[in-house]
Structure 1
Amino acid sequence: MTIDPEKEQSNSSSNTNNSIWQTVWENVQILVIAVILAFIIRTFIAEPRYIPSESMSPTLETGDRLVVEKVSYYFHPPQTGDIIVFEPPTQLQMQGYEKEQAFIKRIIGTGGDIVAVENGIVYVNNTPLEENYILESPNYNLDSVQVPEGYLFVMGDNRNNSNDSHIWGFLPEKNVIGHAIFRFFPWPRIGSILSTIN
């Protein structure tokens, strides 16, 4: 029995081509699955965020990178003390901010709470807050306001350099993107983020 060298070479070449295409197809499938998973995770579970300003200093500094989780708010509403990322409300969009230009602030009051600022102290329901996380006491006063149901009153920890509810009013809960829980950069400051009000 004689073996045709050309036929054997042709079969070998065909097998090599099939193997290459099979590898390419498997890689494409892996890539598609990875993209779908990344989309699902970013949309419904968690996403990274970058801090562009000093409005949350000293808790968060310009350039910090955070993990913002979205799962907990499927089970309970945002809580006082949470540091949240949110889409700018209508009041800010009317000032020229884009809907995609997310803000980050701390929740001071939720629906039904009465918030006021007097002589450098923030009051919620006539109780002064002990705020060891802020940069400095606010140098402005705010007459008592009651937060409507379905809304939040938010402030930056850098009270005197923050575009927040004391300027533009209440934040609709529906604008909340998620809860900032962990800083993963820079390395020396890695860790969970303080999210309580005393």
Structure 2
Amino acid sequence: MGFDFELILAIAFLVTGVFWVYDRIVYFPKRKAVLVNMPTETRKALSKDAQQRLAQTPKFVVEVKSYFVIIAVIFGLRSFVVEPFQIPSGSMLPTLKIGDFILVNKFDYGLRLPVLNTTIIPTTEPKRGDVVVFKYPLDPSLNYIKRLVGLPGDQISYHNKTLMVNGEPVSKEFLAKLPVSLNPNQEPVDVFSEHLGEAQHEIYNSYRFTPHEGEWTVPAGHYFVMGDNRDNSADSRFWGFVPDENMKGRAFYVWLHWDEFFSIPSFKNNGLIE
């Protein structure tokens, strides 16, 4: 089971919110009454802590409710506007590298309820070629990132390293051969420029046989996703389709690269995700 930060943040928002409301109803009127009866100079000289003590506000109430505003801001931004993620694997090479920190647009695919991920205000639909973040269907506490290949109703096939959508091969052009020394997967690969929907991006193809080949029909309300590192990606070819309710948003920007804790963060590869 993964670390479900979204659920923990939602619980923290609710708990601190309850204490904030409790304080406003029970103790705020007491503090106000105490201050009203004080001389102006005395009132101005009192710190917030002193005001809390004069109104006999319990310390644990003061502590818990003090976090509400900052948690509410973080919770609102992460839930409805933009959410940060770190890339943990090489399945999206060469588009995204291990250690890339990315931003995900949470509004692109509709305004959704936090944790439940139910759409309450529709906006735009996911498009073929988008780089998407979603809850892993086999363990929703985990977040995955892949490229959206198949929309509901699409016929997808993958044979001999050739991707076909609705009977048409996806256009790709050979760019270069990448030696072992330049590839984190420690194997030589061919680099191609692929045109998928409105997206133009690079992909890797290794020289190994790809075991998970086949044909798939994308059911209604689901999507078919693949990694750009085509022969080193656990994706829809292995574990199936992504339900619409699992979609979290579209990855759109790399803002930092940090390999490991003791390395120096880099901003040289910052930019939009194609």
**TM-score class normalised by the smaller sequence:** 0.7 to 0.9
Taking the aligned partners of 1:34 and 1:51, their CA distance within structure 2 comes to: 26
Structure 1 match to 2:103: 67
Distance 1:157 1:139, change over 3 A: farther
2:155 is equivalent to residue 114 of structure 1 = yes
Q: Are 1:82 and 2:82 matched, yes or no?
A: no
Aligned partners of 2:51, 2:204: CA distance in 1, in Å?
Answer: 54
Which structure has more RCO (C-alpha within 8 Å, separation ≥ 6)? 1
The match for 2:244 among 173, 182, 187 is 173
Shift in Å, 1:29: 8.7
Q: Tell me the secondary structure at the aligned position of residue 40 of structure 1.
A: helix
Task: Name the SS for the 2:252 alignment partner.
Answer: strand
Deviation of 1:139 after TM superposition, in Å, equals 3.8
* Distance of 1:83 and 1:48 partners within structure 2: 14
Partner of 1:161: 232
User: 1:33 Cα deviation (Å)?
Assistant: 2.7
Alpha-carbon deviation of 1:63?
A: 0.4
1:21 aligns to 2:48 (yes or no): yes
User: Relative to structure 1, is the Cα distance of residues 128 and 31 closer, same or farther in structure 2, using a 3 angstrom cutoff?
Assistant: same
2:94 is aligned, of 46, 50, 58, to 58
Identify unmatched segments of 5+ residues in structure 1.
1-10, 94-98
Shift of the 30–192 alpha-carbon distance from structure 1 to 2, 3 Å rule, reads: farther
Partner of 2:261: none
Alpha-carbon distance between aligned partners in 2 of 1:21 and 1:57, rounded to the nearest angstrom: 52
TM-score, normalising length: structure 2: 0.58
Question: What is the aligned partner in structure 2 of residue 191 from structure 1?
Answer: 271
| AA at the equivalent of 1:82 | D
Give the match for residue 103 of structure 1: 144
What root-mean-square deviation, in Å, do the aligned CA atoms of Structure 1 and Structure 2 show?
Answer: 2.7
Q: Deviations over 1:119-140 (max 9, x none)?
A: 2110001111124111116842
The letter of the residue matching 2:270 is I
Residue 173 of structure 1, CA deviation:
1.2
- Report the residue type matching 1:115 in the other structure: I
Shift of 1:31: 5.7
Q: How far apart, in 2, do the equivalents of 1:139 and 1:173 lie?
A: 31
Change (3 A) 1:160 1:168: same
Counting aligned pairs with the same residue, the percent is: 35
Q: Tell me, in whole angstroms, the C-alpha distance in 2 between the residues paired with 1:62 and 1:142.
A: 26
Looking at structure 2, the residues matched to 168 and 83 of structure 1 have their Cα atoms a distance apart, in angstroms, of 18
Unmatched 5+ residue regions in structure 2? 1-38, 53-63, 111-122, 173-192, 194-201, 258-266
* 1:135 corresponds to: 204
User: For residues 214 and 50 of structure 2, what CA distance do their matches in structure 1 show?
Assistant: 67
1:127 and 1:14, CA in 2 relative to 1: closer, same or farther beyond 3 A?
same
Cα 1:153–1:22 change in 2 (3 A) is same
The alignment of Structure 1 onto Structure 2 pairs a total of residues equal to 174
2:126 corresponds to 1:126:
no
Tell me which amino acid in the other structure corresponds to 1:175.
Answer: N
